[in-house]
Chains A and B, each alone.
Chain A
Amino acid sequence: MRVLIVDDEPELREQIALSLRQQQYTVDTAGDGALALEKVFADPFDLIVLDLMLPEKDGFTVLRELRAEGVKTPVLMLTAKGEVDSRVKGLDLGADDYLHKPFSMAELLARIRALLRRSHEQISPVLTIGNIRLDTNTRIVTLDNQPVSLTPKEFSLLEFLFYNRNRAISRFTMAEHVWGDAFDPFTMSNNIDVHIKNVRKKLNDQGGRIIVTVRGVGYMAKDEQA
Chain B
Amino acid sequence: MKIRNRITLWVSLAGLVSSVVLSLIVFFWGLETPYEFLDQELEIRAHTLVDELAREQASGARIGGEALEHFSHLYWARLYDADGRLLFASRMAREIDLPLHSGRKGYLTRTDIPLNRFYSDEEDEPAAFWNRVFTVPTDGVMYRVHVARPVESLVGESIESAVMIGSALLASALILIVVSYQVAGRILQPVQEINRLSAEITENTLEKRIPLAGNRDEIDELAASLNAMFNRLQYSFLRQKEFVANASHELKTPLTLLRLSMEEMLQDGQLPVPMQERLLTQERTLTRISQLVKSLLDLSRLEMSESLERTTFSLNALIAAVVDEFQPLLQERRLRFTSRLDGELRVHADQEKMRRMLINLFDNAIRYNQPEGEIRCQTRAEGGQVVLVVANTGPGIGVADQQRVFDQFFRCEQSRSTTHGGSGLGLTIVKRIVELHGGSIAVESTASAWTAFTVTLPCGSPG
Task: Please tell me if the beta carbons of A184 and B355 are within 8 angstroms of each other in the complex.
Answer: no
Task: Please tell me if the beta carbons of A12 and B253 are within 8 angstroms of each other in the complex.
Answer: yes
B142 to chain A, nearest CB (A): 114
Known contacts A12-B253, A81-B297, A183-B363; A19/B332 CB under 8 A = no
Task: Please tell me if the beta carbons of B291 and A101 are within 8 angstroms of each other in the complex.
Answer: no
Task: Please tell me if the beta carbons of A184 and B260 are within 8 angstroms of each other in the complex.
Answer: no
B307 to chain A, nearest CB (A): 13
Known contacts A182-B359, A186-B421; A106/B263 CB under 8 A = yes
Known contacts A183-B325, A187-B367, A195-B328; A103/B245 CB under 8 A = no
CA A52 – CA B356 in complex, angstroms? 26
Task: Please tell me if the beta carbons of A82 and B244 are within 8 angstroms of each other in the complex.
Answer: yes
CA A15 – CA B264 in complex, angstroms? 9
Task: Please tell me if the beta carbons of B257 and A9 are within 8 angstroms of each other in the complex.
Answer: yes
Chain B residues in 8 Å Cβ range of A82: 244-245, 248, 297-298, 301
Chain B residues in 8 Å Cβ range of A81: 248, 252, 294, 297
CA A167 – CA B298 in complex, angstroms? 31
Query: Is B277 part of the binding interface, using a Cβ–Cβ cutoff of 8 Å?
Result: yes
Task: List residues 306-347 of chain B with CB under 8 A from any CB of chain A.
Answer: 325, 328-329, 331-333
Chain B residues in 8 Å Cβ range of A12: 253, 256-257, 260
Query: Is B288 part of the binding interface, using a Cβ–Cβ cutoff of 8 Å?
Result: yes
Per-position contact with B for A161-174: 1 when CB-CB < 8 Å, else 0? 00000011010110
Task: Please tell me if the beta carbons of A11 and B421 are within 8 angstroms of each other in the complex.
Answer: no
Task: Please tell me if the beta carbons of B245 and A84 are within 8 angstroms of each other in the complex.
Answer: yes
Known contacts A15-B257, A191-B329, A216-B280; A83/B263 CB under 8 A = no
Task: Please tell me if the beta carbons of A103 and B256 are within 8 angstroms of each other in the complex.
Answer: yes
Query: Is B261 part of the binding interface, using a Cβ–Cβ cutoff of 8 Å?
Result: yes
Residues of A within 8 A of B (CB): 7, 9, 11-12, 15-16, 18-19, 52-53, 80-84, 100-106, 153, 167-168, 170, 172-173, 179, 181-188, 190-191, 193-195, 214, 216-217
Residues of B within 8 A of A (CB): 244-245, 248-249, 251-261, 263-264, 266-267, 269, 273, 276-277, 280, 283-284, 287-288, 290-291, 294, 297-298, 301, 325, 328-329, 331-333, 355-356, 359, 363, 366-367, 421-423, 426
Instruction: Please give 16 more A-B residue pairs, beta carbons under 8 A apart, in addition to A173-B263, A186-B291.
Output: A11-B257, A12-B253, A80-B245, A80-B249, A82-B248, A82-B297, A100-B252, A101-B249, A101-B253, A103-B259, A105-B260, A153-B328, A182-B356, A184-B421, A185-B287, A194-B332
